[in-house]
Amino acid sequence: MLVCSTFALWIYSESPASYLINGILLAVIGFFIGGPANMISSSVSADLGKCRDLQGNTEALSTVTGIVDGTGSFGAALGQLLIPSVQAIFGWGAVFYGFIVMIVCTAACLVPLLYRETLLRRRNAYTTISSDSENESEDVVFGEEEEEEGVRRRVVIGDDLD
C-alpha cells in the first residue's frame, strides 16, 4: 500500500485544479497512507504487549501505547509547522516530492522486517510431525489429519517444536 501511495501522491501533485478530482485523489491517498500508518502503530503496540516485562502490567502497557500514539501525533504537529515553510520556499511540488521521499524511506525501513517475517513464516508455518509425538496434547492443530502409508500425520503450527 505504501508503494501505491507514492504513485497516488505523484498523480495528485500533477492533477488539474478541480474540486472533484481533488476530492477523489485525496480519498485514494488517505486510503493508501492511513491503512499502513494505523497497522504499523497498532502492530508496534501489540508487539510491545507481548514483551515479558509488560505482560500483566496494564499501566505500563497503556503507557507504551500512549508513547507510540503520541510520537505519531508529534510528527503530525511538526509536519503542520514544516509544510508551509517548505511550500513558501520551494513550492507545492517540493512538498509532495518530500512526502514521496518519506514514504519511500518508510518502505525501505520496513523491507528488512518483511523479509525476516516472510522467512520466519516459511520456516515455522507448517511442520509435519508423526502421531506418535510425545507432546501431542500441546500441538496446535491446523488443517486436517491425513493418513499416508498407514501413518497418521497432522500439520501443526508452532515455534516451539524444536
Q: How many CB atoms lie within 10 A of CB 6?
A: 18
Give the tens place of pLDDT for each residue, 10-63. Answer: 887 777 888 888 888 888 888 888 777 777 777 777 777 777 777 777 787 788
Amino acid 90: pLDDT? 92
Q: Is the predicted pLDDT of residue 162 greater than 50, yes or no?
A: no
What's the N-to-C CA distance of the chain in angstroms? 36
In the three-class reduction of DSSP (H, G, I as helix; E, B as strand; rest coil), residue 99 is classed as: helix
DSSP string, 40-91: HHHHHHHHHHTSTTTTT-HHHHHHHHHHHHHHHHHHHHHHHHHHHHHHHHH-
pLDDT in tens, 53-103: 777 777 877 887 788 778 878 888 888 888 899 999 998 888 888 888 888
Domains of the chain: which residue ranges? 2-124, 127-157
Q: Cell 485514494 maps to which residue?
A: 28
